[in-house]
Each structure stands twice: as structure tokens, then as C-alpha cells.
Amino acid sequence: MMIVYGVLLLIGLSMGNSNPLKPLQGFAMNNAQAAEQGLVFQRIRSIAELDEKLKQASSQGKQVILDFYADWCVSCKEMEAYTFADPKVKQALNDFVLLQADVTENSDVDKALLEKFKLIGPPAILFFGVNQQEHSENRVIGYQDAETFVKSLQQIKP
């Protein structure tokens, strides 16, 4: 069974897939269909970039979700594949600005972002109001399935 899974991973990798949870994702669909499945996050790289995006969202009257992600984080991949791809989650996040901090490299800038929010690593999802302040009581640390995540979102919305 492990050999079969290994072969599936190799096939998926050769097709450009990076999700070990769904090794053949995209096999039967074109890239446009594959891209439609999950949410599209704007990547941020630094605290300054985050501050700028928070100001922009505030001027538009929108709340912000900040997802801490890393390629090596299995729970991050699960959130991407199962939670963020769920239609109910997509609907609930319609009014949010979606930001993502990719801390895969664990660089000094990545460490500074994690340290600013007193996080030890991904996955972590933070929520910011229109006032640019974090709703720290609503943080999501670790994996949440779609139903649980939608309930978390309902506690945040005004």
C-alpha cells in the first residue's frame, strides 16, 4: 500500500502538485478548474507590508484574515485542501481581505512576523477588524474543519 501511495505521490509531483494529501489533484481537470477550488490569498512578507494591507482594508471598511502558512506544515495543507475549499467557508469569507504569511523559509523576516503575534509557527489564523486591531480572542491555532471554522467566523462578524 505504501508503494502505491509513493507512486501516486511521484505522479502528482511530476504534474506539479505539491499537496501530499491529494496526490492526483488536477489529474482530471485543467489548471483553471484546479485554481477555482481554494481561496486566493494575497501574500505578505513583512510587518510593514501587513500594516499597509491593514490600512487599505480599513479604508475599504473590510475586516482582514491573516493565515500563517508553510509548505512543510501538514495542518496548513489540510486547511487549504478541506477547509478553505469548502463553499460555506468561501461564502463566509466573502467580505474579508485574505492575507497569507508564508513562513516556509523561516527567515528573519518570517521570525519577526511570528514573534510580533507571539506564535511558535503555523498554522495560525488571525482576524483583524476595520480598526486594524487583532481580535486575539478569536485566533484559530491548528486545523479546523469547515463546519468548525464557519462557526469561528460567525463569532467575528459584526
Quickly state the pLDDT bin for 10 (edges 50, 70, 90). confident
Whether the link from the prior residue into 123 is cis, omega within 30° of 0, is yes
Tell me, rounded to whole angstroms, the distance of Cα 114 from its chain centroid: 15
Average pLDDT taken over every residue of the chain: 85
pTM for the complete prediction? Answer: 0.74
What's the rounded Cα separation, in Å, for the pair 74 and 34? 20
What's the rounded Cα separation, in Å, for the pair 102 and 118? 16
Instruction: Convert the pLDDT of each residue in 60-108 to its tens digit.
Output: 999 999 999 998 998 988 898 889 989 999 998 888 999 999 999 989 9
Provide the 3-class DSSP secondary structure of residue 37.
helix
- Spell out the domains of the chain, with CATH numbers in brackets: 1-36 (no CATH), 38-156 (3.40.30.10)
What's the rounded Cα separation, in Å, for the pair 1 and 70? 28
Other C-beta atoms lying within 10 Å of the C-beta of residue 29? 12
